[in-house]
A and B are shown apart, each in its own frame.
Chain A
Amino acid sequence: MFTPEAKAELRRQFGLDDPPLVQYVKYIGSLAKFDLGLSFSTRRPVINELKERLPNTMVLFLSSFVLTTMIGISVGVYTASKRGTFADSFVTGAGLFAYAVPSFWIQLLLLMLFGYYIPILPIHGTMSAPPPDGFFLQLLDRIHHLILPAGSNVVIAFGSWALYTRNTMLEALGQDYIVTARAKGLHEKTVLRHHALRSVLPPIVTLIFSALPGMVAGAVITETIFSWHGVGKYLLDAVMQQDYPAAQGAFYLIALAVVTCNLAADVVYGIVDPRIRVGEGGAK
């Protein structure tokens, strides 16, 4: 297989000659500088490969996130005002469904439906190869590729947001100040949007931010199914090829994203609910 010289050269190249502890300290030191080492399979710096993929992941993640929460909250508010109707029981069902159904299965079904049975959407990748000419066409092409991955994320997750919004809204709608608002003769829409929704938004926003880490982790599956050229797929590919530096790098990036989301959740929690802000006259 290898000559001893080639072996030694490889070991030197990947820094495997040092004792494990020294390797570890070096590794931690280079992590801080975002030096994630060389990929075993491509021999390129892992950070460069991640840099290529990060924008794709961000696009998919942000579009899924924004669409899911917006649709989920609107549907929740709507059904809260239509209690007992078909729409209401639909949302209750969808919320329960979102908890019990394997998300990757829904994505597979959607992929088969819109990619193969009714082939109107691209089945893999972030853009066509070769990409079309012109910026505008390229943008359209990318959006075309985004519909299925982002759309499937919305289908999977909007139910739980809608259900949570509905339940908190229903609680709020039973409060005295709502009765007062209605008694004043305000329009029902105004009551819903400006009185009820305003008061339930803080817990919802908090929950949204605390669910962010889960969505980041779910990117691995979504990207794998739709062959999305992103960090999550890179992680799985690296794991499958036993490309440890690449896997470590991708995991490091994902963990960093999760920690950032957690931090954001804490900050937002403090903003939307000033009662828990720490430091100003003690907690709570």
Chain B
Amino acid sequence: MSKNKTQTKIGAPTFWEQYRRKPLGMVGLAIVSLYVFVAIFAPYLTPYTPKEILLADRIAAPAWFRSILPKFADAPSSVRISLGSQEWTVSEAVGGGLAPAESDDSPLSVIQFEPFVRDEVVSEEEIDVLEVEEYPKEPEQGVVTLSYTLPYNYSAPKTFGLTFNYWIEAPSDSKTELEFVIETPEGKRYSLWGKSVSGQLANQPARIDSRDLSLKQRLGMTIFDDPAPRIFSSRGDYSLLLIARTIPGEEPTRVYISDPEFYIPGTVHGLLGADHMGADLWTQLVYGTRISLSIGLSAAAISVAVGTAVGIISGYLGGVVDEFIMRIVDVLMAIPDLPILIILGALLGKSVWNIVLLISAFAWMGTARLVRSQTLSLRERVFVEAAKASGASDAYVMIIHILPNVLPLVFAGMVLRIPSAILTEAALSFLGLGDPRVATWGRMLHNARGFGAFTTLAWWWLVPPGLAITFLSLAFVFIGNTVNEILNPRYRERS
């Protein structure tokens, strides 16, 4: 045992012992490890998924801009409130009230009004005694106001919205009015929505959006006015009021309000802001790591495997086969790769797998040439001759004798092929030929260009994906060069 140990120490240092002494190689390895970590643990690094939209206003800036840029000092982040029965307080209740909730976190609120019961006609003596006003001729209007206090301490938002569903159970002789009002800290009231119903009403959705033309008309604004900045112009406690008025009938009236959600999209959001759909950019960046790494690695592996096989066959068999293969290689190398990838990508359909295959299909020729020239010299060596003399088949010699000898060259070549595969994928996605279903860095840049990053000067949308691509490519260049230095000292010049 001890003898063995000393022997390995005296002998040539292992690959890893050499590798770890190269600072650039180690830096590259550290960066790639970081990317792999991010790719694997993507779901734990972000609370959202790439498909979630409307998390913030369109092209929201990163949240940390608030602390460094005065322009964003008190920009709002997203406010999203689910108003369940527990959130409301009853601020006014005449002739009815909020029915007790079924559970603590029930999203359903029920406003219940007492029925109006007509008095029996009383005797004439009693009528004479009553004052005229006291005589209960007609049912009185019942009013229930649910209110929610919303503290708002930011600058004005660009939009806001409210959605809920409602339905009414009531006798046919009743009349019910619903209204949604926002009261500013100064006490100014904006009635945003209203509905008047006779009798009962089946389930209806209510969608209030500050950008709606009908809402602007209701508030007496022109189409060029923007309600959101006007309403939320000051800081303090706003009241969201849901008012139900009813002229009760002979049965109780119930107004059901389910899943109300009030939403102010933030103009700042998360680590890197949001895109044009309000999706989280940090999430897209993190999940993009998966696509770039897997496309880069698989395209490089496939192209190098094909190139190695073709190169060995061509170099070892020689003759007509070699001539034929090399002419094909010449033709393929003469084809401009990006234009042909654009055409074929559009023709074959946009999917990640197609992109991998296309990139590999036009990237194996260089490896094939390199391996072929190496094979040409290897096949003249004595050990190949010895193998042939002892009856080895061509396939056996190629796999057992030639392949292991070209592997070091091929391995370094493969690592160096990864950055170009990553860059090609990014370019294709950027041009709009990537898989539309997955978040990739190229797609982020495509969206940034196509959906207003320039006009809004949203550099935070443009910079991170490019940096991510650059650092990953650089890391693989470092690793590839280091591997080349160790395994193929004679080929150092070529890298």
Contact = CB atoms under 8 A, between A and B. Distances in A.
A213 interface: yes
A97 B454 CA distance: 24
A46 to B, nearest CB: 14
B26 interface: no
Contacts of B423: 102
Contacts of A116: 454-455, 457
B477 interface: yes
Interface in B392-431: 419, 423, 426-427, 430-431
B99 interface: no
B117 interface: no
Contacts of A209: none
A220 B342 contact: yes
A111 interface: yes
B477 A105 contact: no
A172 B198 CA distance: 96
Contact of B343 (A111, A224, A239): A239
Interface stretch (A52-60, A251-259, A273-281): A251-259
B469 A105 contact: yes
B419 A254 contact: no
Contact of A117 (B342, B432, B457): B457
B445 A104 contact: yes
Contact of B445 (A105, A213, A254): A105
A258 B427 contact: no
Contacts, number: 103
A235 interface: yes
A255 B457 contact: no
Interface string B455-495: 10101001101100110011001000000000000000000
Given A96-B477, A221-B427, A101 B466 contact: yes
B474 A100 contact: yes
A240 interface: yes
B419 A100 contact: yes
Contacts of B454: 111-112, 115-116, 123
Given A99-B419, A105-B469, A239 B462 contact: no
A123 to B, nearest CB: 8
Given A105-B445, A105-B466, A239-B343, A100 B473 contact: yes
Given A99-B419, A102-B423, A102-B426, A239 B466 contact: no
Nearest to B458: A112
A214 B420 CA distance: 13
Contact of B457 (A102, A106, A112, A242): A112
B340 A251 contact: yes
Interface residues of B, number: 34
Nearest to A171: B493
Interface stretch (B42-50, B62-70, B213-221, B329-337): B329-337
A102 B427 CA distance: 8
A96 B471 CA distance: 11
Interface residues of A, number: 40
Given A220-B339, A235-B342, A251-B343, A101 B470 contact: yes
Contacts of A236: 342, 431
Contacts of A102: 423, 426-427, 430, 466, 469-470
B338 interface: yes
B449 interface: yes
B206 interface: no
Interface in A183-240: 213-214, 216-218, 220-221, 224-225, 232, 235-236, 239-240
A111 B432 CA distance: 19
A139 to B, nearest CB: 28
Nearest to A115: B454
B201 interface: no
A75 interface: no
A50 to B, nearest CB: 14
A54 B473 CA distance: 34
A232 B431 CA distance: 12
B346 interface: yes
A217 B339 contact: yes
Contacts of B473: 99-101
B340 A240 contact: no
Contacts of A218: 338
A119 to B, nearest CB: 11
A219 to B, nearest CB: 9
A255 B470 CA distance: 29
A205 B347 CA distance: 37
A224 B470 contact: no
Contacts of B459: 109, 112
Given A99-B419, A254-B339, 7 more contacts: A116-B455, A224-B431, A235-B342, A236-B342, A240-B346, A247-B343, A251-B343
9 contacts: A97-B474, A102-B469, A102-B470, A108-B462, A112-B459, A220-B338, A239-B346, A240-B346, A255-B336
7 A-B pairs closest in CB distance: A105-B466, A100-B473, A217-B336, A100-B474, A217-B338, A239-B346, A101-B470
